[in-house]
Structure 1
Amino acid sequence: MRCSAKKKAIYTAIEKIAAPFCEKIICISDAERQSALDKKICKEDKLQVIFNGVDIEAYENGVHGAVKREDLNIPDDAFVVGMVGRMSPQKAPDVFVKMAKQVKEKVLNAHFIIVGNGNQEAEIRKYVEDNGFSNSLHITGWVDKTLQMSARRWIAK
Structure 2
Amino acid sequence: MTTSDQACYEPQRWVLQFCHGYDGPFLDCARQYAVLFKGTPYKVCTVYLTGEPSAEVERGSASDEVIFLDYSSAQVRGLKLGAIRDFRRIAASRDYALCIAHRFKPIYVALLGSSLTVIGVHHAFGDYKRRSRQLFANFFRKRLVLLGVSNAVRDDMRACLPAWPAERIETLYNRIDVEAVQAEQVSREAARELLGLPPDAWVVGNVGRLHPDKDQATLIRGFALALRQLPAGSLLAIMGSGRLEAQLKTLAAELGVSEAVRFLGQVPSGRRYFKAFDVFALTSDHEPFGMVLLEAMAAGVTVLASNCGGAPEVVGEPEALFALGDDATLASRLSAASTIEWREGEHAVKGCFTDAGAYARFWSLPSVVCLMQTRKS
TM over 0.5: yes
Aligned partner of 2:130 among 13, 26, 35: 13
TM-score, with length taken from structure 2:
0.32
Does the residue aligned with 1:135 lie in a helix, a strand or coil? helix
* Structure 2 segments unaligned to the other structure (5+ residues): 1-124, 279-298, 300-377
Q: Which residue is equivalent to 2:311?
A: none
- SS of the aligned residue for 2:198 comes to coil
Given the alignment of the two structures, is residue 26 of structure 1 paired with residue 155 of structure 2, yes or no? no
- Give me the whole-angstrom Cα distance separating, in 1, the residues matched to 2:191 and 2:135: 45
Q: Which moved more, 1:8-17 or 1:136-145?
A: 8-17
1-structure distance, mates of 2:183, 2:126: 46
The code of the aligned residue for 1:87 comes to L
Find the aligned partners of 2:273 and 2:136 in 1 and give their Cα distance.
34
Residues 47-87 of structure 1, C-alpha deviation per residue, up to 9 Å, x if partnerless? 324258x77664334441453158534351x3221111010
Deviation of residue 35 (structure 1)? 3.7
Secondary structure of 1:31's aligned partner? helix
Deviations 1:9-40 (A, max 9, x none): 8972266456556643333x433433433444
1:60 to 154, 172, 182: 182
After TM superposition, list the pairs within 5 Å mapping 1:1-157 onto structure 2.
12-13=129-130, 16=134, 19=137, 23-27=145-149, 29-40=150-161, 43-44=165-166, 45-51=168-174, 58-65=180-187, 66-68=190-192, 72-76=196-200, 78-109=201-232, 110-150=234-274, 152-155=275-278
Contact 1:72 1:138 in 2 (8 A): no
Query: What secondary structure sits across from 2:264 in the alignment?
Result: strand
Partner SS, residue 130 of structure 2: helix
Supply the distance in 1 between the matched residues of 2:228 and 2:136 (Cα, whole angstroms).
46
Q: Which moved more, 1:132-141 or 1:11-20?
A: 11-20
> 1:95 and 1:135, CA in 2 relative to 1: closer, same or farther beyond 3 A?
same
Using the TM superposition, give the Cα deviation of residue 89 of structure 1 relative to its aligned residue in structure 2, in angstroms.
Answer: 1.0
Report sequence identity in percent. Answer: 21
SS at match of 1:60: helix
Q: Name the structure, 1 or 2, with higher relative contact order (CA <8 Å, separation 6+).
A: 1
Which structure is larger by alpha-carbon Rg, 1 or 2?
A: 2
| 8 Å CA contact 2:126, 2:156 repeated in 1 | no
Question: What is the rounded CA distance, in whole Å, between the counterparts of 1:135 and 1:47 in structure 2?
Answer: 46
- SS at 1:24's partner residue? strand
Residues 32 and 149 from structure 1, CA distance in 2 versus in 1: closer, same or farther, beyond 3 angstroms?
farther
Question: Is the contact between residue 74 and residue 111 of structure 1 (CA under 8 Å) also seen in structure 2?
Answer: no
State how far apart, in whole Å, the 1-side matches of 2:145 and 2:129 are: 18
Paired with 2:182 and 2:161, the residues of 1 have a C-alpha distance of 40
Q: What is the TM-score when the length of structure 1 is the normalising length?
A: 0.68
CA contact (8 A) 2:154 2:170 kept: yes
Give me the whole-angstrom Cα distance separating, in 2, the residues matched to 1:149 and 1:58.
14
Stretches of structure 1 that go unaligned for 5 or more consecutive residues are 1-7
CA 1:139–1:40 in structure 2 vs 1: closer, same or farther (change >3 Å)? same
- Is the Cα–Cα contact under 8 Å of residues 239 and 266 in structure 2 kept in the other structure? yes
Shift of 1:140: 1.1
TM superposition shift of 1:139: 1.2
Maintained 8 Å contact 1:81/1:112 = yes
Change in 2 beyond 3 A, CA 1:56/1:140: farther
| Alpha-carbon distance between aligned partners in 2 of 1:147 and 1:18, rounded to the nearest angstrom | 38
